[in-house]
Amino acid sequence: MKFKSLSSFGLYSTFMIIILAVISYLYAFWKVFSEVESDSKQLLNYVEHKLWVAGNSLEKLNQIYFSSCDYLGQETLEEFLFDHLGAGLFLIRHKSSSPWTYCSVVGNIKVSQRDRNFKNLMYLDEGKRRAISVMGYDWQGIEKRDLFLSLESTDRINAVRIALEDSYSFFEDQCTDCRHVEVRLANDDLIFELGGIKSGVLTGIRAISTKFPLYIDAVVGINRVREVMLSSLIFTAPISVVFSLLCLYIVNLLKVLHNSLSYRLKVAIKKGELVAYYQPIIDAQTGYIVGAEALVRWFKPDGTIEPPGRFIQILEESELINELTLQLLRNIPVDLVDVLKESPNFRCSINLVPQHLESADFSDQLILLAEQGFPCHQLAIEITERYPLKNLRQARINVDKMKALGVCIELDDAGTGYGGASYLQELNIDVMKIDKLFVDTLIISPDRTQVLDANIQMALTLGMQIIAEGVEASSQSKTLLDKGVRFQQGFLFAKPLSAVEFVAFWHESYQAHDKSDSTDIPSLCAIKEE
């Protein structure tokens, strides 16, 4: 027992460590992802704002007189630059000037040879007046490459170099190798990049501009997630402990659920472990088998049989009873194929509960089975008094549907439960089954059989057939016969039998009575006309 406790403690500890690691990692990943996503959007907004300011400045530059790139021309650009410091470096080129040469505040600058084409230009309007591009240029002997925005007018082209800083507040100096951001035009030309991470990338994030043809690619690096994960343990550890305990509680709850009788019954029905056993109903006057009652038995995978008393009430009080009843019903013509074929008057009964009768589902299913060839004229349903019917009117409607198919209606447990008299009056009962409780009085207290006699008399007066249940002694059987009850059921004749055993028992009885014509066997249920 001690070793078991230690083993369980070890498993719980391992489980909690795993949960801690998972929660810490997920929290760190979410935090870094959100951080990178937010920073990318901020950077995108920054670039868009710079382009918007530059575009407005270009329109104003177009209104300034510019003659040539001499001292006055450079001075004019310098004054304009001081008035629009947030825009960038302004350039002007007259269309009559040397191609790919622009005038700036420091004189002429030339576009790099590799960019002297129009392939990398991305136009911002249908008239192709505005364009954005990444171009290289010579800046006082230094080769540079930047983002340019240009505006073409009748006689000249104005351009502005967008000044984008190469560092931002969210790129800490100590973490340049755990960040990487690229700003690109829609044609994939690189505008600039930040950070040094090249490997250990968990995922990428892309922020696309809706105002300009550009996008930003950023990555979530594993090193950054690891750092946040370690620093957040003080926060995630308590959450992990609570979550672990919650998981353990749920696991134990599921164990309890899986071990519950309702759940095991649900699984058993799906696996077909609940099957019908058939108890013969005998004509005690002739000895012929005139019918049978289908009684459910639960055969477990280990070979044991669960007593019906342990699970039948759970079944009858749940939705499982509907699925099981239909399952047993469909199996009757398969289990008793020989009997049903050779004995047209034979009827097999099956128990129904109030929910079967108070909903149209069961009667509709029975109608569907009849259309598929189910022998409803050899079926009887037993309505028990153990549970009350709350809607007798609806029950009568559904009973009438079944009677129209040739189904026999039996009242089970008569006189032991709810509303027997009302059931007899409202549901057009064909057969009354006298409960074992009253049959036992024939032995226990033979001078106190008034209730038994009253039930028999009531059934005979109403023109019903009678079946006595729980007949265990020949003296009981003889007395019942003397009282006019010829159809009997009980251990005196046979216990509930498996389908194979019942068919064999029926064949033996059939041969023992040398019956060549099974139509002479009396009918268990002569359905009354209303």
pLDDT of residue 529: 46
Residues contacting 307, CB < 8 A, separation 6+: none
pLDDT of residue 514: 57
pLDDT of residue 420: 59
Residue 373 — left, alpha, or beta (φ > 0 → left; ψ -120 to 50 → alpha)? Answer: left
pLDDT of residue 257: 61
pLDDT per residue of the chain (530 residues) written in tens, 0 to 9: 444 444 555 676 777 788 878 888 888 899 889 988 988 898 899 899 989 988 898 989 888 888 888 888 888 888 888 888 777 888 998 888 888 899 888 888 888 888 888 778 899 988 889 999 998 888 878 888 889 999 998 889 999 988 776 555 555 555 666 778 889 999 999 988 887 776 788 888 999 999 999 999 988 888 888 888 888 888 777 877 777 777 777 777 767 666 677 778 888 888 888 899 999 999 998 889 999 999 999 888 888 888 787 887 787 777 788 888 889 999 999 999 999 998 888 999 998 888 888 888 888 999 999 999 999 999 999 987 777 778 888 888 999 999 999 999 998 877 666 555 677 777 888 999 988 889 998 888 888 888 888 889 988 888 889 999 999 999 999 999 999 999 999 999 999 999 999 999 999 887 776 554 555 677 777 655 44
pLDDT of residue 248: 73
Q: Is residue 123 packed enough to be buried (19+ CB in 10 Å), middle (13-18) or exposed (0-12)?
A: middle
Does residue 330 contact residue 367 with C-beta atoms inside 8 Å?
A: no
Residue with token string 């004749």:
493
DSSP state, residue 522 = P
E strand spans, 169-307: 180-185, 190-195, 201-208, 214-221, 274-283, 288-299, 305-306
Does residue 372 contact residue 314 with C-beta atoms inside 8 Å?
A: no
pLDDT of residue 3: 40
CA distance 189 to 121: 10
Single pTM value for the model: 0.58
Q: Is 101 helix (H, G, I), strand (E, B) or coil?
A: strand
pLDDT of residue 167: 54
pLDDT of residue 349: 94
Pull the structure tokens for residue 436.
Answer: 């074992």
pLDDT of residue 224: 84
| DSSP β-bridge partners for residue 282 | 289, 488
Which of 36, 34, 27, 28 is closest to 179 using CA atoms? 36
Domains (ranges, CATH) in the chain? 1-259 (no CATH), 260-520 (3.20.20.450)
CA distance 146 to 136: 6
For the chain, state the CA radius of gyration.
46
37-74 core/surface letters (b: 16 or more CB in 10 A; e: else): eebbeebbeebeebbebbbebbeebbeeebeebeeebb
pLDDT of residue 176: 66
Q: Count the Cβ atoms, other than its own, within 10 Å of residue 172.
A: 9
CA distance 455 to 383: 16
pLDDT of residue 4: 43
pLDDT of residue 6: 44
Pull the structure tokens for residue 455.
Answer: 């039930």
Torsion of CA 415, 418, 422, 423, to 10 degrees: -80
pLDDT of residue 115: 84
CA distances from 204 to 26, 48, 181, 384, 527 (A): 16, 21, 10, 68, 78
Which of 525, 390, 401, 386 is closest to 459 using CA atoms? 525
Q: Is residue 474 packed enough to be buried (19+ CB in 10 Å), middle (13-18) or exposed (0-12)?
A: exposed
Residues contacting 341, CB < 8 A, separation 6+: none
Please name the amino acid found at residue 101. T
The three-point CA angle 509-510-516 to 5° equals 160
Does residue 488 contact residue 471 with C-beta atoms inside 8 Å?
A: yes
The three-point CA angle 307-334-304 to 5° equals 25
CA distance 417 to 196: 84
Does residue 336 contact residue 499 with C-beta atoms inside 8 Å?
A: yes
